[in-house]
């Protein structure tokens, strides 16, 4: 009999974390799932550690390194179940994660994606809660406006979502031409066409191990600009999408300036409607690159001291 969930985990050089990730999945209170693990050509001991785990629900697929989008899509293609839950190889699920997703699916069966809330765990010693706009806590239902809700923190995060197999079969997969921000692109595409169901109950931990892990979504500026360009036509008729993309434009513009990439900085800045930025963001947008680099180092230092500061809040 086909299980309820296919769980797809993508792994690349996560030898220090993957055993804890898989253990958290196998401990789920709702156990009716298959576990598909795609190793994206790891060069460390990730694959060895995966093969040491014994559980009949696990199938491991070693592949050559092609990037996270290709690895996730390969896992999606192997999934047998009607609902597919995702996780990266270094994040942690609480025991009620799949049961909470299943409750959402049963309550709202015609949505394009299902998600639970999460906690951000910095350096395994400091925890912060994401902040969502226009969603009260507790919340369990269909989000009225996904893009408005995600202006501060995104309610959709890769390790806390489940997608119906039919939605994936309709072409909603990760864009393998994008090297960074591929998850943001997929969430935008799904949210434009489908309802988003969300539970504000945190059931997963976003594990942030270094200052370069999740602290910036701008590792590859050209890729992120291409995502903005893909949705430029739709934002003209969707004010919420325009506001959401402008917040992402701000982040990309800041990273471009920090890198002294003033061509992209000016191009992106010109496309931002200032009404979508708070006063702190407007100030940051005009500060010199040297000051921005200093502030970025200060943010990392404060995180080490267990103090999380965000200009978006």
pLDDT single digits (tens) 226-270: 999 999 999 999 999 999 999 999 999 999 999 999 999 999 999
Mean pLDDT score across all residues of the chain: 93
90-94, 221-225, 246-250: least confident range:
221-225
78-89 per-position pLDDT tens digit: 999 999 999 999
pLDDT of residue 219: 55
3-state SS record for 171-199: CCCCCCCCCCCHHHHHHHHHHHHCCEEEE
- What SS3 string covers the chain? CCCCEEEEEEECCCCCCHHHHHHHHHCCCCCCEEEEEEEECCCCCHHHHHHCCCCCCEEEEEECCCCHHHHHHHHHHHCCCCEEEEEECCCEECCCHHHHHHHHHHHCCCCCEEEEEEEEEECCCEEECCCCCCCCCCCEEECCCHHHHCCCCCCCCHHHEEEEHHHHHCCCCCCCCCCCCHHHHHHHHHHHHCCEEEEEEEEEEEEECCCCCCCCCCCCHHHHHHHHHHCHHHHCCCHHHHHHHHHHHHHHHHHHHHCCCHHHHHHHHHCCCHHHCCHHHHHHHHCCHHHHHHHHHHHHHHHHCCCCCCCCC
Q: Residue 218: what pLDDT?
A: 45
pLDDT at site 135: 87
We find that the CATH architecture of domain 5-208 is Alpha-Beta Complex (3.90)
Q: How far apart are CA 98 and CA 221, in angstroms?
A: 34
Sketch the domain layout of the chain as residue ranges.
5-208, 221-304
Q: State pLDDT tens for residues 95-120.
A: 999 999 999 999 999 999 999 999 99
Residue 126 pLDDT level (bands cut at 50, 70, 90): confident
pLDDT at 34 over 90: yes
288/313: higher pLDDT: 288
User: Bridge-partner residues for 6, per DSSP?
Assistant: 34, 84
Q: What integer pLDDT is reported at residue 216 of this predicted model?
A: 43
Tokens 């196998």 identify what position? Answer: 26
Check whether 213 has a pLDDT greater than 60.
no
Report the range of poorest mean pLDDT among 57-61, 115-119, 199-203, 308-312.
308-312
Residue 211 confidence (pLDDT) above 70: no
pLDDT at 245: 97
pLDDT (mean) for 5-12: 98
Given pLDDT bands bounded at 50, 70 and 90, which one contains residue 76? very high
Percent of the chain residues topping a pLDDT of 90: 83
Q: 161-187, pLDDT tens digit by residue?
A: 999 999 999 999 999 998 888 999 999
Place of tokens 């940051």: 284
Q: What is the mean pLDDT of residues 199-216?
A: 75
In this prediction, residue 214 carries a pLDDT of 41
Q: pLDDT tens digits, residue range 269-308?
A: 999 999 999 999 999 999 999 999 999 899 888 888 888 8
| Threshold 0.85, pTM exceeds | yes
């Amino acid at each position: 009999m086909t299980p309820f969930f296919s769980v797809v985990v993508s792994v690349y050089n996560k030898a220090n974390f993957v055993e804890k990730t898989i253990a958290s999945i196998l401990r789920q209170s709702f156990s009716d799932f298959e576990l598909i693990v795609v190793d994206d050509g790891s060069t460390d001991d990730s694959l060895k550690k995966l093969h040491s785990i014994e559980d009949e629900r696990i199938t491991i697929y070693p592949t050559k390194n092609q990037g996270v989008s290709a690895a996730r899509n390969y896992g999606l293609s192997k999934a047998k179940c009607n609902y597919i839950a995702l996780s990266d190889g270094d994040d942690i699920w609480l025991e009620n994660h799949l049961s909470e997703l299943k409750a959402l699916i049963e309550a709202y069966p015609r949505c394009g994606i299902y998600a639970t809330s999460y906690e951000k765990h910095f350096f395994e010693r400091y925890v912060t809660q994401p902040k969502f706009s226009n969603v009260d806590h507790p919340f369990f239902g269909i989000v009225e406006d996904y893009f408005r809700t995600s202006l501060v923190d995104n309610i959709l995060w890769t390790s806390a979502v489940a997608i119906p197999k039919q939605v994936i079969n309709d072409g909603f997969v990760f864009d393998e031409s994008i090297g960074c921000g591929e998850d943001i692109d997929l969430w935008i595409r799904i949210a434009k066409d489908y309802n988003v169901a969300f539970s504000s109950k945190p059931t997963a931990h976003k594990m942030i191990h270094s200052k370069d892990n999740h602290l910036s979504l701008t590792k590859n500026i050209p890729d992120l600009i291409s995502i903005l360009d893909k949705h430029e036509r739709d934002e003209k008729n969707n004010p919420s999408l325009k506001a959401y993309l402008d917040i992402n434009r701000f982040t990309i513009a800041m990273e471009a300036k920090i890198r002294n990439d003033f061509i992209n900085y000016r191009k992106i800045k010109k496309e931002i409607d200032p009404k979508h930025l708070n006063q702190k963001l407007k100030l940051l947008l005009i500060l010199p690159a040297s000051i921005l680099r200093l502030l970025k180092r200060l943010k990392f230092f404060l995180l080490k001291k267990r103090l999380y500061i965000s200009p978006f809040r």
